[in-house]
Structure 1
């Protein structure tokens, strides 16, 4: 599915999806994205060597993540996840969660509390929270 959508919206056939092409592809995937969200998606999924575009593998990773999130809340989950994932690694890690909690006025959380929160969301036990795990915790994951 991702490859067909990619080919359809890679209108100039250069093997890269620009911001404008991505907007069309996202609409087909039932995601209405603001300019800021499109920029955040490119920043998140454009892997080294970063060129400001999404190639097929990068777009496929985006589609995989989107399928883990229900259609009604995709933009909200992506936007929130992007805000938490400060280093754009594709995961929320303990340091990032601590920083967000502080920014939300929750004070300085101790390491044990933050680790417990990560452990709850981290269903594959890799020590960090993926977007699919994040969506599930928010109650928006497809079952």
Structure 2
């Protein structure tokens, strides 16, 4: 079996119990590269995780949240990444923070942390994907329309025209101006989310 498959993040049980795992930086970078709809869909999935599915992550979050405020500030993020031996610039930390801070509050809350750090297998479970799709498909038409996409992105302050166009260009394979479930699933499973 390849060492990659044996990595604790890929196993069903979840994260290791180490204070802060080296996967933090790579996960945050992967999240930053995702389109806005995929980021929001992961947030919806993270909000519905059971305690068993997130064991280990709570401890990791608490270890980074050094002032125990319930959020990770840019300083705490930089400090946590530095503890991992990461030689990351101030500007790069700021970019990661902006990407992971979906609600633009200036800090990373627990749900945002889970969204970034959860196991890849969550993105492959049919019921989680369906629940996320239905969250965006407000009228239950079987499609995420441009209006529904705009509404969802506006909720999180990320609905600029360029982002919406980018999501539709990337995800709407049959170019009918809306995203069906198959297109949504393909988007969620595509890419290197390890």
Normalised by the length of structure 1, the TM-score is 0.48
Normalised by the length of structure 2, the TM-score is 0.36
Greater relative contact order: 1 or 2 (C-alpha under 8 angstroms, separation 6 or more)? Answer: 2
Bigger Rg over Cα: 2
